[in-house]
Amino acid sequence: SLHRDSEALEETNSLIKKNPQNSEYYDLKSDVLYIFKKYEEALEAIDIALKISPNNKEYHLHREFILEHIERYDEALKEYDNVIKIEPNRGFSYYKKAMLLLDLNRYQEALQELNLAITLDPDDAEFHYKKAYILYRLGNYEAATTELPEILKGRFSLFYLVKFAELSALLGKSEYGIAKVNDILSKEKPDTKELCEHLNYEINRVDTEEEKIILKEIIEKYCK
């Protein structure tokens, strides 16, 4: 409630007064101000936290979250750069930056960040899926098709198996996609109920007829 939020703000101010060099209290204050939709004040609070603890990754991500919410995207991207400086060998940081660039339809830049993420973590299926998807959006179907099998090289995942099938259909490779799905399912033998629930969810979510057709074919084979 508004009353509880006001009390929370008073409490954080009291904590700051007692210990003005504790960065966690400013981070907490920023959270409360964000709830109040006082975004500029929330940024001021997290900025103080960062002055005290400039290498705190979570504070930079907190600042990025606020900036993205208020559509100050270039500043938000710089916060991802700050996170990358703190942990340059973690692929996920490059991936997060790539996802914001993807949301902004800045595909080439997103692709560059994903390539860096994959270099650091080559077995992450999500990185490969998003790379193939961006290549598809760029119209580079040959490169996207080359990337497709990379999605399935890691640990088995129903989620990425279905994503692989959908993207195969979008790339005009439905026959290849179906064959690969059948091959993997024959080896992995996942729980049929879980598989069918996932497929039925996806078929109601996808946008294109190509995706619906390939999912329907898999459903007819495994969910009767």
- The CATH number that applies at residue 15 is 1.25.40.10
> Does residue 94 sit in the same domain as residue 61?
no
> Does residue 118 sit in the same domain as residue 161?
no
Task: Report d(CA 131, CA 133) in Å as an integer.
Answer: 5
> Does residue 127 sit in the same domain as residue 146?
yes
> Does residue 122 sit in the same domain as residue 140?
yes
**Taking Cα atoms as reference points, which of 148, 165, 211, 154 lies closest to residue 188?**
154
- What DSSP string describes 112-146? HHHHHHHHH-TT-HHHHHHHHHHHHHTT-HHHHHH
Residue appearing with tokens 């990337």:
147
Task: Report d(CA 129, CA 117) in Å as an integer.
Answer: 12
Q: Which domain holds residue 14?
A: 1-86
CA atoms within 13 A on the CB side of 202: 27
Show which of 86, 115, 134 is a domain's final residue.
Answer: 86
The tens place of each residue's pLDDT in the chain, 224 residues long, gives 445 667 888 888 889 999 999 999 999 999 999 999 999 999 999 999 999 999 999 999 999 999 999 999 999 999 999 999 999 999 999 999 999 999 999 999 999 999 999 999 999 999 999 999 999 999 999 999 999 999 999 888 999 999 999 999 999 999 999 999 999 999 988 888 999 999 999 999 999 999 999 999 999 999 97
Show which of 154, 175, 192 is a domain's final residue.
Answer: 154
Structurally, the chain folds into a number of domains equal to 3
Show which of 86, 103, 130 is a domain's final residue.
Answer: 86
